[in-house]
Structure 1
């Protein structure tokens, strides 16, 4: 009995040392969360296999519904957890609040509390060692590596200093966070499956391919491009002294979130960009809800503020399209 126990202890230590050695070989500064890393890897592998085997043939209704769910989840991320709850860029009435909660749950992310905390720390300590997805640690880390590793002590300590009272004091958000796992399962997996199979008449295998894998992973990775691609490639027309950039490709994927240099310059602005900026479906949707009275107190930087910052700190790539002014390059 003692011998078996001793052998098990030796085996455990050896396995731990093996993991540590592997972490060092990858150059990771933080310890890998092996349970999360393995789960994410397996989800991707299974998703590729399942989609290859069952995604086609698919009904056009399935493809349309998948796109609709992609856009719905995207709105929950861009307008909901990002602009309403993280930055308080505008306010919403109860019906729109409930829609945003359902939309966010359909994206299958972390709880609103965790998402908001990570994002507020990111903005306050952007691209430093206190940033959860510091872009200076490389494209892989800022995209997905930060989710596979434990947060360093600086990120954790700075996170404890962030005021989250607006989230914890909101009774609706408290209820949503308490039962978030159930809401996520319902809106991200169960309801899309039920609608696609029992209302649209798709096979369950094809439904799983499009809803649980293709749609979910598309939303997951397009959101992460804001942390990675929009902190690496593009211009800096508003502030060349920060890492975030303007990236048209990211804007196309995320309905306007790629105007990231603007966003970090004016994080409270609900538009995340200027009037003429890249494809910004989120801003158009918020404007629609504002017109019908469901969204209000929209915050935005004034043209004078934007022009002043771009002239002082920008890289010279901003085009001034103010009314009655010919487009010109700001130097």
Structure 2
């Protein structure tokens, strides 16, 4: 159930009050209508403008990239290559961060774990440790304030809005109750977390942009735009699980 953001129940206002006429009650209620602040309990919205600007840029480039594709400005090899990269990056999320590390659905030896960790880095949806922690909190405290993408707060919030606002304090409090020792003991996860800020720009953006330029002469502008579009579509593909599937 969504939190009560409109104030106290009517009965609280009447307790211990003088008996007044219905007409006066209607007149006062018409004048003193409660406002609805952007507050959920003790939580107040705090927009993360850096993320908002980044998402506006990503989606704007993706729309422009669609224009470039339909006007024949994108090499077919570039289109196929980015499609392949997007699918491999998706494996890093689905087979890696989700099924292997978050839910422990199967066991994998270190070569496969390293491979999946690299693919998850290409996907750039935070490092494995943070992705798994948020996902486990989501399952343990589904549709509460501790759920990072609480669907009770609406479609937009559960899709992308949760990344545009500071997390509710319950996410941090309840997140500390989630057992993460299995990841803390996995050297692949530990090292990916340590090297993430170095590896992510290389794996997610630099290499996928460079390959079309080097091997079949794609322009930098087109290669970069296609790389951004591939990343943006991959993000939305994951977000749809949180929004449309709930």
Query: Normalized per residue, which structure has more helix?
Result: 2
**2:132 is the counterpart of 1:111:** no
CA distance in 1: counterparts of 2:166 and 2:57, whole angstroms: 19
| 2:64 counterpart of 1:39 | no
**Aligned residue for 2:137?**
121
Deviations 1:276-295 (A, max 9, x none): xxxxxxxxxxxxxxxxxxxx
Which residue in the other structure is 1:48 paired with? 63
State whether structure 2 residue 121 is matched by structure 1 residue 100.
no
Q: Which of these residues, 169, 193, 205, is aligned with residue 189 of structure 1? A: 205
Give the TM-score normalised by structure 2. 0.78
Describe the SS at the equivalent of 1:230. coil
Aligned counterparts of 2:62 and 2:82: Cα–Cα separation in 1 = 15
Paired with 2:233 and 2:111, the residues of 1 have a C-alpha distance of: 27
Long gaps (5+) in structure 1: 1-22, 232-331
What is the number of residues matched between the two proteins?
206
Task: Find the residue that maps to 1:88 and give its secondary structure.
Answer: coil
Counterpart position of 1:171: 187
Match of 1:66 in 2: 82
Aligned to 1:140: 156
Deviation at 1:24, TM superposition (A): 3.9
Any conservation in 1 of the 2:209–2:220 contact (CA below 8 Å)? Answer: yes
Deviation larger for 44-53 or 172-181? 44-53
Aligned structure 1 segments of 4 or more residues deviating by more than 6 angstroms: none
**Greater Rg, structure 1 or structure 2?**
2
SS of residue paired to 2:241: coil
Which of 28, 32, 45 is 1:30 aligned to? 45
Give the structure 2 partner of residue 289 of structure 1: none
Match of 1:159 in 2: 175
Cα distance between partner residues in 1 of 2:74 and 2:93: 27
CA apart distance, 1:50: 5.7
Other structure's SS at 2:160 match: helix
Greater relative contact order (Cα < 8 A, sep 6+): 2
TM-score, normalised to structure 1's length? 0.58
| Structure 2 runs not aligned, ≥5 long | 1-36
* Separation in 2, partners of 1:160, 1:131: 13
Contact 1:51 1:209 in 2 (8 A): no
The superposition leaves residues 140-167 of structure 1 with CA deviations (integer Å, 9 ceiling, x where unpaired) of: 0000010111111212110011111111
Shift in Å at residue 51 of structure 1? 5.4
Answer whether contact 1:54 1:209 (CA < 8 A) is retained: no
